[in-house]
Amino acid sequence: MSAEKPAYILLDTKITDPVAYEDYKAAAAPIVESFGGVYLTRGSAMDIVQNELWEPTRIVLIKFPSRTAAHAFLDNPEYAPIKAIRLANSSASLIVLEGI
């Protein structure tokens, strides 16, 4: 019997409407938490040490108990209208990473 590994959502976001994006942040947090998600960083200061592949803008890192939980959050119907706020007011790259 093997336990699922933790997983992380890594999101790099360029916000186009900061006021509307605040609505997204407030609405998304409780849903993230309902799937066991914990914000590890959310747009905090960063030191870019090497950027040969991409230039990060605003990083969000959320830890989930598993990839299943991370995808369940992303696919949740309750999140869909909130996600629409994010999509309308930012551009982003989002990946789900399996932890160790």
Number of domains the chain is built from: 1
Distances (CA, A) of 33 to 16, 30, 39, 69, 99: 25, 5, 9, 11, 18
pTM of this structure: 0.93
Residue 64 sits in a domain whose CATH number is 3.30.70.100
Q: Which domain holds residue 79?
A: 15-44+56-98
SS3 99: coil
- The answer as to whether 65 is a domain residue is yes
Q: Examine residue 88 and state whether it is found in any structural domain, yes or no.
A: yes
Does the residue 63 lie in any domain?
A: yes
For 12-68, the pLDDT digits (tens) are 999 999 999 999 999 999 999 999 999 999 999 999 999 999 999 999 999 999 999
Instruction: Tell me whether residue 30 is in a domain.
Output: yes
